[in-house]
């Protein structure tokens, strides 16, 4: 399904929402504005890496309070070498961290990532879609983050022709930027602060088949270019 929809309209009925991300900061960067706009939804953030990170883990908890969300962290390998993870292990950790299997909406990484390039983002996006296909998790809709950085040409930007695209108000963006710089403590001149998108976008899927077809089509396009 294509066309611009504003999350404030879509989310009125979507109450139980799981956000499944790689790192403490991904929830804020890629959907923090959407979360801030909808404090009445039941947000649960599963962050798969950095549970034992003495710096980031406590900050993640503070951010959850600001975003009015519950959440949990896992300890998937996140070393600098970014070795590819076993697909089954990624799926197992997701299932272990989610408090239940059924949601109105799941928001997660794109299997193509949000910038060039972080393997964990891509692996997690793929694992969530695979779990949905195998009926290990249920959701009425899945939103994959829709961002790209022009192959490192610029900081990640929301994709305008994604299913859902919303430009944030200055207030909401400033709150997002404050979380990144003051709560997580990233430098204002650093990658995270400079990236913090002013618009948020998502690819929306209503069933796993559509998500997998989209994945195949994109992979073919990527090979051709």
Burial of 130 per CB tally in 10 Å (0-12, 13-18, 19+) = buried
50 binds Zn ion (CB under 5 A): no
Q: Interacting stretch for Zn ion, rule CB under 5 A, among 22-30, 34-42, 141-149, 174-182?
A: 22-30
Pairing of strands 147-148, 138-145: unpaired
Among residues 194, 167, 203, 155, the alpha carbon closest in space to that of 34 is found at 167
* CA atoms of 51 and 46, how far apart (whole Å): 11
Q: Interacting stretch for Zn ion, rule CB under 5 A, among 20-28, 129-137, 147-155, 169-177?
A: 20-28
Burial of 27 per CB tally in 10 Å (0-12, 13-18, 19+) = buried
Query: Quick one: 75 or 169, whose CB is closer to Zn ion?
Result: 75
91 binds Zn ion (CB under 5 A): no
Size of the site for Zn ion (CB under 5 A): 3
Residue of the chain from 22, 124, 146, 158 that contacts Zn ion (CB under 5 A): 22
Among residues 74, 65, 62, 57, the alpha carbon closest in space to that of 39 is found at 65
Least distance from Zn ion to the Cβ atom of residue 23, Å: 3
Query: Quick one: 14 or 26, whose CB is closer to Zn ion?
Result: 26
Query: Quick one: 17 or 49, whose CB is closer to Zn ion?
Result: 49
26 binds Zn ion (CB under 5 A): yes
Q: Interacting stretch for Zn ion, rule CB under 5 A, among 12-20, 23-31, 51-59, 84-92?
A: 23-31
123 binds Zn ion (CB under 5 A): no
Given a contact cutoff of 8 angstroms between Cβ atoms, the answer to whether 83 and 120 are in contact is no
**In the complex, which residues of this chain contact Zn ion (CB under 5 A)?**
22-23, 26
């Amino acid at each position: 399904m294509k066309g611009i929809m504003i999350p404030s309209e879509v989310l009125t009925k979507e109450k139980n929402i799981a956000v499944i991300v790689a790192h403490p900061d991904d929830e804020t960067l890629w959907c923090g504005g959407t979360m801030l706009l909808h404090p009445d939804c039941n947000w649960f953030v599963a962050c798969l890496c950095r549970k034992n990170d003495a710096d980031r883990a406590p900050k993640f908890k503070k951010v959850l309070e600001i975003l009015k969300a519950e959440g949990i962290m896992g300890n998937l390998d996140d070393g600098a070498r970014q070795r590819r993870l076993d697909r089954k292990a990624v799926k197992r950790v997701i299932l272990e961290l989610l408090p239940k299997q059924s949601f109105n909406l799941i928001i997660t990484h794109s299997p193509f990532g949000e910038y060039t390039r972080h393997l964990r983002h891509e692996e997690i996006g793929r694992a969530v879609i695979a779990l949905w296909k195998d009926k290990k998790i249920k959701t009425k809709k899945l939103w994959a983050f829709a961002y790209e950085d022009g192959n490192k040409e610029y900081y990640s930007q929301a994709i305008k022709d994604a299913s859902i695209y919303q430009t944030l108000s200055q207030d909401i963006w400033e709150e997002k930027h404050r979380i990144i710089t003051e709560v997580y403590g990233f430098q204002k001149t650093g990658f995270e602060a400079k990236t913090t998108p002013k618009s948020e976008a998502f690819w929306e899927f209503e069933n796993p088949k559509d998500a997998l077809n989209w994945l195949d089509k994109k992979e073919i396009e990527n090979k051709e270019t």
